[in-house]
Amino acid sequence: MNRITRTFETLRQQGKKAFVAYVAAGDPDYQRSLEILKGLADAGADVLELGLPFSDPLADGVVNQMAAERALKAGMTTKRVLDLIRDFRQTHQTPIVLFTYLNPIFAYGFEQFQIDAVAAGADGILLLDLPPDEAGQSHDFDGNPDLLRIRLIAPNTPEPRAKMLAAQAEGFIYALSRTGVTGAHGAPSAHVGSLVASLKQHASVPVCVGFGISNAEQAKEVGQHADGVIVGSALVKQVELHAHDPKPVDAVLRFAKELIDAVHSV
């Protein structure tokens, strides 16, 4: 069983919600990024979303854009991201979802990337700029059954399309709490509950909610409606603030633990 599927099944049996943590691979550098991944897993993060650094991250706000830039300047490449996962897998089994744009994957070789990602220990992939209906027009974009396709659904997605995306989703659905780019510059929408309820009518996988969640109160509120809570930019901001520290993991974990505990207490 895929690690993502197994994790959500275990959480369901325990009556708990998932905490999904996003960080940029290689931010602020390879070794400290690995320490942050291990630290988040040890602190109780249920799923890790690992951003693959890209020079033109159009769906990201400034915090995640700067994280990608720091990682690229530190020497991160697509291959090094897979090395990072492989090193993490030597000690940890927390599920990993690759959060990426199509361009670096296409340049690597779509089919080969998926094979190599699975071999390294990745469990899922969220391709931000490859709509599933367009992917279906070319065999070049065929998926890999061992790398679950996570679907992103916005609150303004037309109902017929949201129904189609929800029905196709694997692993879990990434439901956006609001429109716009990533970042903690806007709080989650007050309509999270109705969005999750609507998606659950058509989905056979858990529904997790992200975008704009930056404190324990918000995380707990979202967790009352969703199967999981996704926090990204607020964590990445901690990396940015402590990028020159020998161990930025300490600050990231101080911040993250309060949110993890809030989600697990719902």
Which DSSP helix (H) or strand (E) runs through 48?
A: strand 47-51
Q: Do 53 and 30 meet the contact criterion of CB atoms below 8 Å apart?
A: no
Q: Could you tell me the two tokens for 250?
A: 């300490």
Contacts 24+ apart (CB under 8 A), 35-42: 35/247, 35/249, 36/239, 36/248, 36/249, 36/252, 37/84, 37/88, 37/92, 38/88, 38/91, 38/92, 39/249, 39/252, 39/253, 40/94, 40/235, 40/252, 40/253, 40/256, 41/88, 41/92, 41/94, 42/92
* Active-site annotation holder among 46, 60, 87, 240: 60
* Active-site annotation holder among 9, 27, 46, 49: 49
From 75, 50, 87, 16, select the one nearest 264 (Cα to Cα): 16
Q: Is 144 exposed, middle or buried (0-12, 13-18, 19+ CB in 10 A)?
A: middle
Name residue 102's amino acid. Answer: L
Residue 29 appears among annotated catalytic residues? no
Catalytic residue ranges: 49, 60
